[in-house]
Structure formats: C-alpha cells, structure tokens
C-alpha cells in the first residue's frame, strides 16, 4: 500500500496508466452511452487518437501524447474528457521552459520530461464526460491529476456571462442569483427549461481563463475532446524554477540568488534549471530577522547548495509521501557532493503519516552546528507546500533557512 502510493506520486504509475483508467473512473453516464446515444451513432464516432492525429492544429500536443505513451491508450474507447491545447498554446508554454527539452530516447533528461508531461497531461484529462453545455455560472470538474496539493485537482468550466441558462428548479441554488431572480420574476414556477449556455472558458487552478479553440468532437466510448487556447496549469506545476519563485513567496530567495550571481559572476538559477533534483526553497518567512546583505557570495552559495539534492533519475526525486530510509531519502545535497562530505551534508524529508498529507505535518531535518561549531545536531524546517513540480525538479517550500554545519 505504502509502496504503491509512493510510486504513484512519483508519477510512473500515472505515466503507465494514463487514460487507461479513464473508463473505470468516469461517471456512470459515461459508462452507459448506449442509453443516451443510439448504437449506430456510437459506431461512427472516431477513436480518440484517430481524430487527434488528423488535426493539424493538434500536432504538438500529439507529439507529447506520443512521448508519454498516451497515443496507445487513446487508440481504444475513451469515456472521459480531454482538453487539448492547440499548437500555438503549446508553443507559448514551451517558450516559458528553462530546462533543455531533451526528449529523444537517448537523452539523459528524457525520463524527467516524460514524468513532467505525464503529470501535466493528467491535468487535461477530466474523469467525467463534459460537454460545453452549461446550466450554472461555473462548474468544477475533477481531473486525473492528483498530488498532495489536490486530491484530485480540478478545472472550472465558466459559463457565458451574457447568457442566462437558468433551469427553474435549479434557480434557488444557482451561483448566479441575478439570473435566477430575473428568471423567476419573468416566468414564475411554470417556466419551461431554457436552453443551456455554452461554456466560454476553462479556469485552471492558477486562475487563468482558457478559451476554447474551434475544434471539438465526441469520440468512441462516449468521451469528448475540446481544443483549448492555452496549456492548463494546476496549482503546483510550473514550467520552470523561475516561474515557481515568481509565483509564490520567494522574493528574498531570489534576492540571495542575485547576490550570489553578482558576487561570483555565475548564474545559479540558470544552472539549477538544467540540473534535475529536489529543492527545499525557503520562503520569505525563512529570512525574517536574518540580514544577509553583507554576507559574502561564497557563503551564500554554500547555503543555497545545501538546499538542493541533484538526482539522475526521476524516481529519485523526493516526493510525498516521504519515507526513509530509501535510496532517495535522505538525499545528498549538492554541497555534500561538491565538498566530498556526502554522509554529513544530507537532508531527510519526513512526515507524520505515509499517506498523502498537507503541511504542517511535513518537515525536513538536517544536521547543523550548535554552540561553538564543534557539536552537530539535527534541526528541522517545516514544509509549507510540498510537491511543486517543475520539468526537472520537485520543490518543497520551507519556512526556515537550512544552515549547513560549518
Ligand atoms: C455568449 O452568449 C451570447 C448571448 O447568448 C452570444 O451572442 C455569444 O455568442 C456567446 N458567446 C460565446 C463566446 O459563446
Ligand atoms: C476569469 O473569469 C472569472 C469569471 O468570469 C473572472 O471573475 C476572473 O476575473 C477571470 N480571470 C481572469 C484572469 O481573467
Ligand atoms: C563573467 O563571466 C563571463 C562569462 O563567464 C565573462 O565573459 C566575463 O568577463 C566575466 N566578468 C567578470 C567581471 O569577471
Ligand atoms: C566550545 O568548545 C569548547 C571545547 O570543546 C568548550 O570548552 C566551550 O565551552 C565551548 N563553547 C561554547 C560557547 O559552547
Ligand atoms: C541526525 O539525523 C541523522 C539521520 O537521521 C541520524 O543518523 C543522527 O544520529 C542524528 N543526530 C542527532 C544528534 O540526533
């Protein structure tokens, strides 16, 4: 059980099972398409992959689906909903990537990209069949992507605000009281159902309203595919470390990185973007009361490299649930590797239960110095957000600066 959930969060099972489980997980309506749709019509619907591979505007996402093996999964009946970004949308997202896009079979980074795209694509797969018809102002739908920050993650279909699709019986509970009121006032109880509105956008967990592109289709198995004008982003997947630092409470850490760059004429963040691994990222709270303005760049670099464990395989990335001992936890920091003190300079990620869990039950423990630097003791920093996924990294936000024993 524990083993299984560890593998699951590592993403490998997500990769293998991508879309394959959609049939089992879909809502009952998806399982009985025959009741609503006559059989002959079913037969004429294209298989999902056959349709996708024939759409010129979906060739980029088709390449990604092929990379992660989803093409095979989509070559049979599909019962859920796929939201597929157009080529322009994929290109725009690709322009925000900082890590080298190495996806040939011989590339060392390919396994990391597969893991990353598997998670990202899972966020574009809805468990239920969702047409663009909409009766409410907005409606949340579960996706196949789950992590400790969303079990599962969801997207929200937004209705056309210039359309009032209120069904009389639903008016009382409608999220759009204005529309409900006018409906009731005009037509009273006896009013027949109006036509539904068409959703105009899908809102992702980062608050982006992504509009629908032209093409959509119903596919064999009862599922549906919509094309969309941007890559959807859950609250914990980002195209780069820089995007993570910009999106959250990390301005002090960014300042420290700039201080190091200026002092040593290097580019720490750009180098980290290219190096796969697990990063403990101190939030602004970690810097309260610390004055690092006069610290020398070499000391700061030492501290930063104590927060990062480089890895060569995606399964070594330290995701929740944190269990130890394993081959990946404790993890050896970059400082441990560069100074040849691997045994001493390790971080151990911990949590109370082995189930997926939220902060503050997670922390990282690390050896630090006490008194006059002759005694090394273990200290801990609380993880305020775990499992932030970047193409080559997993990032855990911590509320304390980890100071290596000196
Ligand atoms: C929104 O609804 C209005 C009124 O029904 C319609 O004219 C318009 O085309 C709709 N917009 C979209 C993007 O569907
Ligand atoms: C997205 O749409 C919602 C509902 O229409 C609106 O409240 C919100 O401001 C929009 N967000 C952006 C970033 O446009
Ligand atoms: C900084 O590094 C770059 C390239 O590594 C080099 O061209 C430049 O001269 C260096 N600047 C200083 C001030 O050392
Ligand atoms: C530092 O170490 C010395 C020798 O071990 C010890 O006598 C002294 O009390 C220590 N000082 C502090 C401040 O802990
Ligand atoms: C610190 O943690 C490490 C790894 O968990 C352990 O081996 C060591 O004994 C601990 N040291 C102290 C002083 O507790």
DSSP-derived pairing of the beta strands 133-134 and 197-203? antiparallel
CA-378 nearest atom, ligand 5:
1
**Fold that domain 241-398 belongs to in CATH:** FAS1 domain (2.30.180)
User: Considering the entire predicted model, what is its pTM?
Assistant: 0.82
Pocket of ligand 4 (CB under 6 A): 371-372, 374
CA-203 nearest atom, ligand 2:
1
pLDDT at 163: 81
pLDDT at 166: 59
Closest CA to 68 of 119, 19, 111, 118: 118
Closest CA to 347 of 367, 361, 322: 367
Q: How far is the CA of 41 from the centre of ligand 2 (A)?
A: 37
Q: How far is the CA of 317 from the centre of ligand 5 (A)?
A: 22
The string of pLDDT tens digits covering residues 3-19 is 333 333 333 333 323 33
Concatenated DSSP letters of 38-88? -HHHHHHSPPHHHHHTT-GGGHHHHHHHHHTTHHHHTTS---SEEEEE-HH
Ligand nearest to the CA of 324: 5
Residue 27: burial class (beta carbons within 10 Å; 0-12, 13-18, 19+): middle
Share of the chain above pLDDT 70, in %: 79
pLDDT tier at 23, thresholds 50, 70, 90: very low
Closest CA to 366 of 395, 389, 336, 338: 336
Pocket of ligand 2 (CB under 6 A): 158, 203, 207, 209
Closest CA to 279 of 148, 402, 110, 129: 402
CA-367 nearest atom, ligand 5:
1
- Whether the CB of 378 sits within 6 Å of ligand 5: yes
pLDDT at 1: 31
pLDDT tier at 167, thresholds 50, 70, 90: low
The string of pLDDT tens digits covering residues 117-145 is 999 999 999 999 998 888 778 899 999 99
Q: Is the pLDDT of residue 398 over 80?
A: yes
- Whether the CB of 377 sits within 6 Å of ligand 5: yes
Structural domain boundaries in the chain: 2-228, 241-398
pLDDT tier at 328, thresholds 50, 70, 90: confident
Q: Which residue's CA is the closest to the ligand 1 atom numbered 13?
A: 200
Q: Is the pLDDT of residue 326 over 80?
A: no
Mean pLDDT value across residues 93-112: 96
Q: How far is the CA of 373 from the centre of ligand 4 (A)?
A: 9
- Whether the CB of 348 sits within 6 Å of ligand 5: yes
Concatenated DSSP letters of 210-268? EEEEEEEEE-TTS-EEEEESS----TTB-S-HHHHHHHTT-HHHHHHHHHHHHHHT--H
Residue 39: burial class (beta carbons within 10 Å; 0-12, 13-18, 19+): exposed
Give the alpha-carbon dihedral of 74, 224, 113, 271, to 10 degrees. Answer: 170
Provide the 8-state DSSP code for 343.
Answer: T
DSSP-derived pairing of the beta strands 224-228 and 209-218? antiparallel
Identical fold for domains 2-228 and 241-398, yes or no, is yes
Mean pLDDT value across residues 293-308: 95
Alpha-helical regions (H) of 53-197: 59-67, 70-73, 87-94, 110-122, 177-187
DSSP-derived pairing of the beta strands 125-126 and 81-85? antiparallel
Q: Which two tokens stand for residue 290?
A: 């610390």
Q: How far is the CA of 216 from the centre of ligand 1 (A)?
A: 17
332 touches 345 (CB < 8 A): yes
User: What is the second-level CATH architecture of the domain 2-228?
Assistant: Roll (2.30)
The string of pLDDT tens digits covering residues 378-395 is 899 999 999 999 999 999
User: CA–CA separation, 89 vs 373, rounded Å?
Assistant: 53
Q: How far is the CA of 401 from the centre of ligand 3 (A)?
A: 29
pLDDT at 189: 52
48 touches 84 (CB < 8 A): no
pLDDT at 370: 64
The string of pLDDT tens digits covering residues 357-370 is 666 689 999 998 76
Tell me the residue ranges of DSSP E strands in 270-326.
277-282, 308-310
């Amino acid at each position: 059980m524990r083993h299984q959930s560890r593998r699951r969060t590592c993403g490998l099972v997500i990769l293998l099972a991508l879309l394959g489980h959609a049939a089992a997980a879909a809502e009952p309506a998806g399982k009985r398409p025959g009741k609503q749709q006559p059989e002959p019509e079913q037969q004429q619907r294209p298989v999902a992959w056959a349709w996708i591979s024939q759409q010129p505007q979906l060739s980029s996402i088709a390449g990604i689906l092929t990379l992660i093996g989803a093409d095979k999964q989509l070559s049979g009946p599909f019962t859920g909903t796929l939201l597929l970004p157009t080529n322009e949308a994929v290109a725009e997202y690709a322009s925000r990537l900082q890590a080298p896009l190495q996806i040939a079979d011989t590339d060392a980074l390919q396994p990391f990209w597969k893991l990353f795209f598997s998670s990202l694509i899972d966020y574009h797969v809805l468990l239920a069949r969702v047409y663009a018809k909409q009766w409410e102002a907005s409606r949340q739908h579960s996706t196949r992507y789950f992590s400790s920050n969303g079990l599962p993650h969801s997207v929200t279909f937004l209705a056309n605000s210039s359309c009032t699709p209120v069904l009389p019986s639903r008016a009382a509970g409608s999220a759009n009281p204005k529309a409900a009121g006018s409906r009731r006032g005009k037509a009273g109880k006896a009013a027949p159902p109006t036509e539904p509105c068409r959703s105009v956008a899908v809102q992702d967990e980062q608050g982006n309203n992504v509009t629908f592109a032209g093409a959509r289709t119903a596919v064999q198995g009862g599922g549906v595919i919509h094309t969309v004008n941007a890559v959807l982003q859950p609250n914990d997947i980002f195209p780069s470390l820089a995007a993570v630092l910009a999106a959250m409470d990390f301005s002090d850490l960014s300042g420290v990185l700039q201080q190091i760059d200026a002092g040593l004429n290097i580019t720490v963040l750009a180098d980290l973007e290219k190096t796969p691994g697990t990063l403990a990222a101190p939030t602004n709270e970690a810097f309260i009361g610390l004055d690092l303005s006069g610290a020398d760049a070499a000391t700061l670099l030492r501290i930063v490299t104590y927060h990062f464990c480089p890895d060569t395989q995606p399964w070594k990335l330290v995701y929740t649930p944190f269990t130890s001992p394993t081959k990946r936890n404790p993890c050896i920091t970059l400082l441990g590797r560069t100074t040849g003190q691997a045994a001493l300079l390790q971080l151990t990620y911990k949590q109370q239960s082995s189930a997926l869990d939220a902060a503050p039950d997670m922390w990282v423990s690390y050896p630090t110095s006490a008194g006059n630097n002759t005694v090394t003791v273990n200290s801990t920093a609380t993880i305020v957000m775990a499992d932030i996924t970047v193409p080559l990294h997993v990032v855990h936000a911590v509320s304390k600066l980890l100071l290596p024993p000196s």
